[in-house]
């Protein structure tokens, strides 16, 4: 079956040349995500953990993770160009061109699986999540960081007009697909909620603004329904011990 979303994803990223993967100076949103993501992932894994960075692009976040903890990160991306760029980092030697819906790895071969801003590139994240469940060891961790939209109907997902490789997804929809894939959800954290509310008047926030807004988000997280308004969802799950794929 033809998949225009995959074809467009591959074509788009094959033409991209990302900046130095260790520099985020010109991208406060990426710098904020990197700072958040590295601690979030590494604080929950034991030394020696083997992580699969699924649809991880040129390895911008993986590069920081392997420098922050004694872990191994294996990269997979649909774009050959992204994989070539990953290989430029000596600490990211294991990389493969592949489809996140058909992972070329054995069952129970990783301690953790990481999705960063990639599940909204497919019309339904369930097949990719089921594959992540398959390749994780029982007790293995899932980390998903995805932008979330409030502009979706009851289905929780909607195509972005004019972009065949972009889909809007809601936070509850994403959490539901993670559960359906067989994971137990351990944590759902909402990020950039304050920034979403002030975005019309603050179009280019600095890194310090991101950090200040995040402190406000954490203070307000206990308010019922607040997390659902988040612009970015961080969801951590576990493949239950004894679970079958």
Q: What is the largest CA-CA distance in the chain?
A: 50
Can you list the residues of the chain whose pLDDT is less than 50? 19
Residue 243 forms part of a structural domain = no
Residue 235: what pLDDT? 98
Residue 201 forms part of a structural domain = yes
Overall domain count for the chain: 1
Residue 164: what pLDDT? 76
Q: Please, are residues 118 and 214 in contact by the beta-carbon 8 Å criterion?
A: no
Residue 162: what pLDDT? 81
Residue 244 forms part of a structural domain = no
**Nearest residue to 143 via CA among 57, 53, 73:** 53
Residue 230 forms part of a structural domain = yes
Where are the strands (E) in 21-134, listed by range? 50-54, 72-77, 95-97, 110-116
Beta strand 95-97 with 72-77 is parallel
> Which domain range does residue 96 map to?
4-238
- Using left for φ > 0, alpha for ψ between -120 and 50, and beta otherwise, residue 162 falls in left
Residue 184 forms part of a structural domain = yes
Residue 99: what pLDDT? 95
Q: What is the CATH number of the domain that holds 102?
A: 3.40.50.150
Residue 32 forms part of a structural domain = yes
Handedness of CA 157, 40, 207, 221 (dihedral sign): positive
Residue 26: what pLDDT? 67
Residue 195 forms part of a structural domain = yes
Which one-letter DSSP state was computed for residue 140? E
Residue 138: what pLDDT? 97
What residues contact residue 224 under an 8 Å CB cut-off, 6+ apart? Answer: none
Residue 8: what pLDDT? 74
Residue 245 forms part of a structural domain = no
Handedness of CA 9, 15, 21, 26 (dihedral sign): negative
**pTM, full prediction:** 0.91
């Amino acid at each position: 079956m033809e998949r225009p979303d995959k074809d467009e994803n591959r074509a788009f990223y094959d033409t991209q040349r990302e900046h130095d993967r260790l520099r985020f100076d010109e991208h406060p949103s990426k710098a904020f995500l990197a700072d958040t993501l590295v601690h979030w992932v590494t604080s929950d894994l034991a030394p020696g953990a083997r992580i699969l960075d699924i649809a991880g692009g040129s390895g911008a976040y993986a590069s920081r993770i392997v420098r922050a903890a004694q872990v191994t990160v294996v990269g997979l991306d649909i774009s050959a160009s992204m994989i070539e760029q990953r290989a430029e980092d000596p600490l990211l030697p294991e990389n493969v061109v592949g489809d996140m819906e058909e992972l070329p790895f054995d069952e129970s071969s990783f301690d953790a699986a990481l999705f960063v801003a990639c599940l909204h590139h497919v019309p339904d994240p369930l097949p990719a999540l089921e594959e992540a469940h398959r390749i994780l060891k029982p007790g293995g961790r899932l980390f998903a960081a995805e932008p979330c939209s409030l502009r979706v109907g009851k289905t929780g997902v909607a195509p972005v007009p004019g972009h065949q490789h972009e889909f809007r997804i809601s936070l509850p929809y994403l959490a539901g697909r993670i559960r359906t894939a067989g994971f137990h959800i351990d944590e759902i954290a909402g990020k950039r909620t304050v920034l979403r509310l002030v975005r019309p008047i603050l179009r280019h926030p600095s890194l310090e603004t991101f950090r200040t807004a995040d402190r406000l988000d954490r203070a307000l997280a206990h308010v019922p329904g607040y997390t659902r308004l988040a612009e970015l969802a961080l969801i951590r799950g576990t493949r239950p011990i004894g679970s079958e794929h």
